[in-house]
């Protein structure tokens, strides 16, 4: 049975991106550093067509995350950083070039219709204008027995969380204070509510918190 999962790196003060994102610095000031631990791992490098990389706890966690996901949902801003009509978007092809690291179906939430794009390595981008529930249905159909990742950004994760669609959270808390930026949890509706830890894993550089949302 597929689960709907969020898997994301945050700063100790709860930010998934720093302030002032640009095309050159899509995660804002200091935001890219949240992912230093990811970029260092062998499984992440493999999925990006790169050699080398570290093995160990962080790598195992990344490998698990990659292996279990069969389809991804993301927001338009995570896809390209843009908004509005596609023809006006300077990054309309997305951040990842000809061979994106997903290697499965990716559903992009947008208000602007666009034909699907097939990339190398098994990644397809499908643009969904019917809202978060429609995108999730398509992703679940595409994922088979695997899970659906709600990748981001924070606003999209909050929409799915507030709609009650998220089953699992894996939050990688990096030991950094960003001070400002985009918070993972902001104005969560239906709060307060309790989650359940399914695991807390320490590595040398990150605290991996695994939680389940009771239904």
Among 98, 118, 192, 215, binds a second copy (CB under 8 A): 192
Among 25, 26, 29, 103, binds a second copy (CB under 8 A): 29
* CB neighbour list of residue 74: distance below 8 Å, 6 or more residues apart: 106, 107, 108, 109, 150, 151, 152, 153, 156
Q: Give which of 129, 156, 126, 154 is closest to 142, Cα–Cα.
A: 126
Smallest separation, CB 58 to a second copy (Å): 12
- Check residue 57 for interaction with a second copy (CB under 8 A): no
Tokens for 41? 């791992």
The residue (of 141 and 195) whose beta carbon lies closer to a second copy is: 195
The residue (of 56 and 130) whose beta carbon lies closer to a second copy is: 56
Torsion angle (degrees, nearest 10) of CA 139, 144, 150, 151:
-100
Among 14, 70, 120, 125, binds a second copy (CB under 8 A): 14
CA distance 207 to 142: 31
Applying the rule CB under 8 A, the residues between 172 and 191 that interact with a second copy are 173, 175-180, 183-185, 187-191
The residue (of 115 and 197) whose beta carbon lies closer to a second copy is: 197
Tokens for 121? 């390595």
**Helix, coil or strand: residue 60:** helix
Q: Which residues contact a second copy (rule: CB under 8 A)?
A: 11-14, 18, 29-30, 33, 171, 173, 175-180, 183-185, 187-197, 199-202, 204-207, 209, 211
């Amino acid at each position: 049975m597929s689960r709907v999962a969020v898997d994301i790196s945050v700063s100790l003060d709860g930010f998934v991106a720093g302030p002032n994102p640009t095309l050159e610095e899509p995660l804002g000031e200091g935001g890219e550093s949240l992912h230093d631990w990811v970029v260092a791992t062998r499984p992440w490098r493999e999925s990006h067509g790169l050699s080398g990389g570290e093995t160990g706890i962080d790598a195992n966690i990344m490998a698990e995350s990659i292996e279990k996901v069969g389809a991804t949902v993301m927001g338009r801003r995570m896809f390209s950083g843009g908004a509005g009509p596609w023809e006006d978007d300077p990054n309309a092809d997305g951040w990842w070039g000809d061979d994106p690291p997903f290697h499965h179906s990716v559903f992009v939430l947008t208000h602007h219709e666009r034909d699907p794009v097939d990339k190398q390595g098994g990644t397809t981008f499908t643009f969904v204008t019917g809202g978060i529930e429609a995108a999730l249905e398509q992703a679940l159909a595409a994922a088979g027995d695997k899970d659906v990742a709600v990748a981001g950004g924070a606003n999209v994760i909050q929409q799915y969380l507030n709609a009650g669609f998220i089953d699992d959270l894996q939050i990688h808390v990096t030991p950094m204070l960003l001070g400002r930026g985009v918070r993972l949890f902001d104005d969560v509706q239906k709060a307060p509510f309790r989650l359940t830890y399914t695991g807390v894993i320490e590595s040398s550089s990150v605290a991996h918190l695994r939680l389940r949302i009771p239904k």
